[in-house]
Amino acid sequence: MADAAEPADLPGGVASRPAGQPSGALPRRLVLLGPPNAGKGTQAQMLCRTLAVPGISTGDMLRLESGSGSELGARLKTIMDRGELVDDATMADVVRERLRRDDTERGFLLDGYPRTLGQAETLASILEAAGKQLDAVLAITVPADELERRALARGRSDDRPEVIRERLKVYRDKTEPLIGYYRGLGLLREFDGDRPIEDVGRDLLAALGVQRP
Ligand code: AMP
């Protein structure tokens, strides 16, 4: 999707919009999909800044709750420490609440949701009830051996080898089917994540019609 259809400059050479800003009516309701350690978090930050939409990381939201000392938090922590998935019903509540907030009116970038086909269907119905729909699903792909190498190098507390393996297995079993699901809906854009961060970021922006200065 090119920028070319947009009037790039106003007469007199004054840019019609700030450099690096997205143009026109471009995708704003986005899902970022990819295995653990694909670089999703970094790209999510960059995309949210550039597109001026809120990033919704369900992992961050769950981590916040799990540290709160609540009963729910304790239950979430056990699941997350094992690398397993929180159940779809709990996640539906979390995401439905978050998408009700006003800041999502201009769009959003979901990072870490949906992770199962059931969650994808729930998301579609949450949006449909609000008269909205997804604009695009951005999938970052990385070969399995490179993902394990990155995970071992990173050393987060939940990155014990057995947890790493569990998270990857869960991704393959539960989340990877979403790629075919969204491809079937014509929403999927795939990106090779086995490259420098900047290259992946540039391609993501290009796919969304954003040209960097
Ligand atoms: P993340 O930071 O996205 O890797 O998420 C950390 C952990 O939070 C995951 O390993 C899951 O245990 C849990 N989690 C985050 N998002 C979801 C989701 N959409 N469905 C189920 N569990 C999730």
Percent of the chain predicted with pLDDT > 90: 71
167: closest CA among 179, 180, 156? 156
Provide the sign of the torsion angle of the four alpha carbons 71, 73, 79, 85, taken in this order: positive
Q: Which residues of 51-80 are buried (b: 16+ CB within 10 A; e: fewer)?
A: bebbbbbbbebbbebbeeeeeebeebbeeb
- Answer whether 55 contacts ligand 1 (Cβ < 6 A): no
35 lines ligand 1 (CB under 6 A): no
Residue 204 Cα to ligand 1 midpoint, Å, equals 23
Token pair of 152 as six digits: 């071992």
Q: Give the pLDDT confidence score for residue 13 in this predicted structure.
A: 33
Q: Is the peptide bond before 196 cis (omega within 30 degrees of 0)?
A: no
The protein residue with its alpha carbon nearest to ligand 1, atom 1, reads 59
pLDDT tens sequence across 123-176: 999 999 999 999 999 999 999 888 878 877 776 555 678 888 899 999 999 999
| Domains of the chain with CATH codes | 26-207 (3.40.50.300)
> Is this model's pTM higher than 0.95 or not?
no
